[in-house]
A and B are shown apart, each in its own frame.
Chain A
Amino acid sequence: MTWLALILLGGMVALDATSLGQLMLSRPFVAASLAGAVIGQPLEGALIGALLEALSLGILPVGASRYPDTGTAAVAAVGTLGLAEVVASAPALLLIVVYGLLWQRISGFSVIGGRYVNEWLVRAGEPGERPRMDRLIEHRHLESMLLDLGRGMLITIVALAIGVPLLPLALSYWALPNIAATLAVSAAAVAVLAGTAPLFAESPRARLVLLAGLVFGSLLLVAR
């Protein structure tokens, strides 16, 4: 049942990313939180999602650019953690984040493939071939969305099928101290997140606001 729910979630998130809605269920930290809820570990899912989010925030889907598919990969990563039934230790977190990043790439390639399939579908509905263009366009459009749903589900199935048996095995062969894993994940996330600063803090005033936020965040940390 958990497998089925994760696969459906993977498909839904893939659909949300571009084809239908764009309600941002496909943002890594939302998708990962939903996957976390499915596996019964919402907070762990959300925290993994926050890391994947920090590593993806600067990716902007402008124009016809090609970019990684972050949502489906987040579902696959968190689903792998839950189904493999491993403790969310620092090495497990590192391996899951890396696994999620890998699937972002693979799933991103499948998006490109899907767009070429769409091109073929749309081309198949060109004038002269069928008399009812209005119905044909609607059918092709709905078929494209169904294909995207199927793509997301397939990516999730494959990622879980590989990841679930592999994660415990990989953990038993991983031998650096926990602090190395925590530092690597934390430093990478912070560096990429800080790298987005030029998007928001162009002016000296905005940089001051960012510093004020830094103080606020530090105070929140101390208060906890």
Chain B
Amino acid sequence: MKRLPASVRWSVFLRSFAIQGSWNYRTLQGSGFAYALMPVLRHVYGDTERLQDAVIRHSTLFNAHPYLAGIALGAVARMEVDGEDAALIERFKTALRGSLGTLGDRIIWAGWRPACVLLGMVVLLATSSALAGVASFLLVYNTGHVGLRWWALQLGFDGGRHVGERMRTIPVSRWHRFVVTTAAFLLGAALPLIAVGEFTESRLSLPWMAVPAMAAVVGWFVGTAIRMPALIMLAVVTIAGFLVHLIS
């Protein structure tokens, strides 16, 4: 098995942070994938016509969760280094992209990110320190984020076309359950801190707290669909404020 130089691996890693730089509705992350893979392609093909062909092959439609796209990048890099057939690489990318998108959406966008955001919000509201809130969020979140990007790329480099088998051994469900359970606790902690309305010089008195408490119960039962009615309510109160001024 040929090895990729460390400089090439690092270059792909750094470029993977920009994989969505030219995101569009036609190739989605396609050209970003080619951009991130470019150091590998240049290493493998040099400055030849085959490099141009390889770039065109890798600029076609591709989409995955941006943090997990490194798995595909690493595996495809391995396959290119090993001289695998172009049609096989294309089929491999097609097979992998859907699962990487679904997995990332579930464990990152709907798990890790909201959990870390809630942690930051609780720290902010409990300490009244913007620095503590923001720093705790950014530090915890990005330790996981950057670590995940690096791990994903190494997994792909090492696994090559067999990366799918390695992915099956990762205890994703157990890890996800831990993250969302933590998020549930933090969500519970954030609710009273937000409900008290202490965003200006005064906080809501206890009897008035019944209003956000009822809103929380309604939100709980309605779910994420509550967002639009809540925004409409905010707009109605805002307009009412101007109407009262006009009438009086």
Contacts and interface: CB of A to CB of B under 8 A. Distances in A.
Interface in A118-148: 118-119, 121-123, 125, 127, 131-134, 137-138, 140-142, 144-145, 148
Interface in A49-67: 50-51, 53-55, 57-64
Given A23-B138, A89-B200, A216 B185 contact: yes
Interface in A67-121: 88-91, 93-95, 97-98, 101, 115-116, 118-119, 121
B22 A187 contact: no
Contact of A195 (B110, B194, B219): B219
Given A29-B121, A186-B212, A133 B234 contact: no
B129 to A, nearest CB: 8
Given A36-B130, A184-B237, A141 B242 contact: no
B34 interface: yes
A141 B21 CA distance: 6
B186 A27 contact: no
B156 interface: no
Contacts of B130: 33, 36-37, 42-43, 45-46
A101 B28 CA distance: 27
Interface string B113-137: 1111110111011101111011001
Contact of A191 (B55, B101, B113, B216): B216
Interface in A170-224: 170, 173-176, 178-202, 205-207, 209-218, 220-221, 224
Given A115-B23, A132-B52, A200 B211 contact: no
B188 A211 contact: yes
A14 to B, nearest CB: 12
Given A141-B32, A186-B204, A199 B114 contact: yes
B244 A217 contact: no
Interface residues of A, number: 111
Contact of B224 (A42, A58, A125, A207): A58
| Shortest Cβ-Cβ A-B pairs, 10 listed | A213-B188, A194-B219, A46-B130, A217-B189, A191-B219, A186-B197, A175-B245, A144-B22, A118-B24, A119-B24
B26 A212 contact: no
A91 B241 contact: yes
Contact of B219 (A127, A192, A205): A192
B177 to A, nearest CB: 8
A135 B67 CA distance: 25
29 contacts: A24-B137, A24-B138, A24-B145, A33-B130, A33-B134, A46-B134, A57-B118, A94-B237, A121-B24, A134-B38, A134-B52, A137-B34, A137-B55, A138-B35, A141-B18, A141-B35, A145-B18, A182-B202, A186-B212, A187-B214, A191-B226, A194-B220, A195-B222, A213-B187, A213-B189, A213-B190, A214-B188, A217-B189, A217-B193
Contacts of B191: 190, 193-194, 213-214, 217
A175 B244 contact: yes
Given A173-B246, A184-B233, A209-B188, 18 more contacts: A19-B21, A22-B66, A47-B124, A50-B194, A91-B241, A95-B238, A98-B234, A137-B59, A145-B21, A178-B202, A190-B212, A190-B215, A194-B191, A194-B217, A194-B219, A198-B224, A201-B184, A210-B187
A41 to B, nearest CB: 9
B148 to A, nearest CB: 11
| Residue in B51, B52, B125, B220 with the greatest tally of chain A CB atoms within 10 Å | B220
A175 B247 CA distance: 10
A93 B199 contact: yes
B55 to A, nearest CB: 4
Contacts of A141: 18, 21-22, 31-32, 35
A145 B193 CA distance: 38
B91 to A, nearest CB: 21
Nearest to B189: A217
A72 B100 CA distance: 28
A58 B227 contact: yes
Nearest to A25: B138
B243 to A, nearest CB: 9
B183 interface: yes
A9 interface: no
B77 to A, nearest CB: 15
A193 B190 contact: yes
